[in-house]
Structure 1
């Protein structure tokens, strides 16, 4: 990964991962080593070198552009950027760790179709060695004893949404611009309800009166005593989130955050007292929930501009609130992307492993985002390289951005080691000052990782 670095080598043996950049090669990222070694509280933050401070000041001036809006996250991955899927066999033998939804996804099938084809329910238990059908008629006998039927889909009368693997009720409500409480009411669900792929969820009332929530959907007595629709205060409980609390009380999340002087990156703890907007002020002021930033403001003694760190925290909060691929899935995405773009998969995997350990939720104090740890300005450069706008919060686009930069460095550097160093230190800095000691260690690490992925 690269980020802005002082052009002159200081007298100490090595520096954190920082690199001078030019318009031709924007900074790329803060590596996984940085993520693994947060700055300790005992060491006072040092001032950034003048050249790095100037570069960060320029980035801070465009901080608003560095925050990727949630609306920019695509709901579906374009077909051209999905990994190739193998053809589905007529019959499949269950292996240890398999799930019906994972099997269906592996072969590009609908989970609901596989369940119906084998007369299974969403909560039916499958076991290694069991054979299931992936093609053919649905008249086959059950492959395993059926468990109790799952909840019936909601009655007609409004728009519906078919649940997909990884969905949550909160995400479904947000996607359709309705409150989570309404989704509960229209579907007779509660916070404890379990949804499954293929299930139909009502996402509008359809003009008819909303179904009355079942007793399970009603808030517990302890909750009712601490809050009311008109406002008041609420005591945070284990498992609570700000969005869930806002939905439960019928207020906007932004209003709830503002009333408690919190932001999207704030962390709440059980026992915190929250003010619910819309009620008269409490008799005695309640302390605001303590907040801890998701991303620290310094690393290895270097402090970063508040605007950059704030952007990093907002992007981290968005990734934390979004479903992302597992590390194993990200590894496949990076490898497939590299193959499509003509880069050795083992080399791309080595960078992804070094930068984040295949963690798409990784965000550094320099606002380096995702698996490939690319900062927004470098994302713009990568977008120019591939000829389309890339969204670094999207796992496929994040892999594309990193691989595009690797490919360009390989094409424009004098040798492979220099290209690898350019991802970390910056191509211009390497060409002018040579590799710093920490850059040499980075190059050695990438080459060692590549051998493990061949």
Structure 2
């Protein structure tokens, strides 16, 4: 969609939903691409379109439907109202996740020549699960499910689950759909190795904007508490292991947030732990009532091995993972902190 470049002002604009890119792929949410707040459940079928929200259709027949952006619109909201995937609307209009749309802009709501955008998602190259093999084990999607969570529940990597179903990591899944979670008898597993199986000890990754922002926040909170750069680097590496430097509202059992702290083990209530500043403060100082210990509560942490110091706080089932992000954490702190 050709548009004149505009300067962002304080006026009314509509923007695409913030998308947190994940190391190894962002989990797709049942019935919706990831948006803020993440992982909220939507109806199993697209909502009916009100008269004022109906696309402006050109000529009958093979014409592609269009929609004129209104004040307050977001691309994700427009897509949902018209039964489409956000990624398809972006692609059809040559937009990216960071693009800004303005009231009055006209968006295409279908592939060129498709005849409209009310196909309930259409065929967008890997967006819909393939028909399962009759002999393969399947799982019926429930409201609130994510591809990431389904993979974890069936001891699969996300990449393997996507491969089994012929979909990509941006696919939308709806309650009632059948996903293949195990190959038919005789099939050989081809799960890709975990990043922690890499022969390279010091792991590296490029951060996207939300991840870099979380590095800056951890550094700011740490310095405000008087924590040394060494302690801040430990916190950054810990958040990378626990959440991929993302503020997740889900995790193992009741774990949430940057550091995957659990309300049930005394870190605080869920709302508190979803506050990035509170979660970071808890990593350094523990819970206010002393139910958990933070890094600064660990005697002699400054002289401990980098990974051991992180493990003393997190008490993880995978204690060897933190030290492998030590070099990267120092680099991210220098670049973004």
* TM-score, length-scaled by structure 2: 0.40
Q: Which protein has greater RCO, CA pairs closer than 8 Å, 6+ apart? A: 1
Q: Which has the higher helix share?
A: 1
* TM-score, length-scaled by structure 1: 0.32
Report which of the two structures shows the higher radius of gyration computed on alpha carbons: 1
